[in-house]
Structure 1
Amino acid sequence: MSDTSQTLARQLLQALRPFAHDRKEGDSRAGVRPHGKQLFSYCCFETERLARVSNGKPVIGIVLSGAKEFWLGDAGQRFVAGDVFIFPAGVEVDVVNAPAEGNGIYESLLVEVDSVPEAIRQLRPAGSFPRQGLDMRVPLTSELVEALTHAAAVLAASDHATALAQHRLAEVLLLLRAVPAAACLYDMSLADRVAWVVLQAPAQRWTAQDIGRALGMGASTLRRRLNGEGTSLRDVLASTRMKLAHEILTRGDGNVTAAAGAAGYSSRSHFGRQFRNVYGTSPSAVRDRAG
Structure 2
Amino acid sequence: MDSLSTLVTSMGLRGRLDLLCRFAGAWSVPQPEAPPGQVPYHVVLAGAGVLEVGRERRPFVAGDLVLFPRGAAHTMRHADGATLTFAEVRRPLGRLVEVASEAPRSDFDVLCGTFELGQHHALLLRALPDVVHLHTQGRDDYAGLQALMRSMRHESLQASPGGDAVIAHLSAALFILVVRTLMDQGDLQQGLLALLMDARVAPALAAVIATPAEPWTLERLAGVSRMSRASFARHFAELSPATPMDVVTALRMDLAARLLRETPRSIESIGEACGYTARAAFGQAFKRVHGTSPAAFRRQAGEAATATNLPPFS
Compute the TM-score of the two structures, normalised by the length of structure 1: 0.41
| Structure number with bigger Rg | 2
Q: Which gives a bigger RCO, structure 1 or 2 (Cα 8 Å, sep 6+)?
A: 2
Q: So what's the TM-score if we normalise by structure 2?
A: 0.38
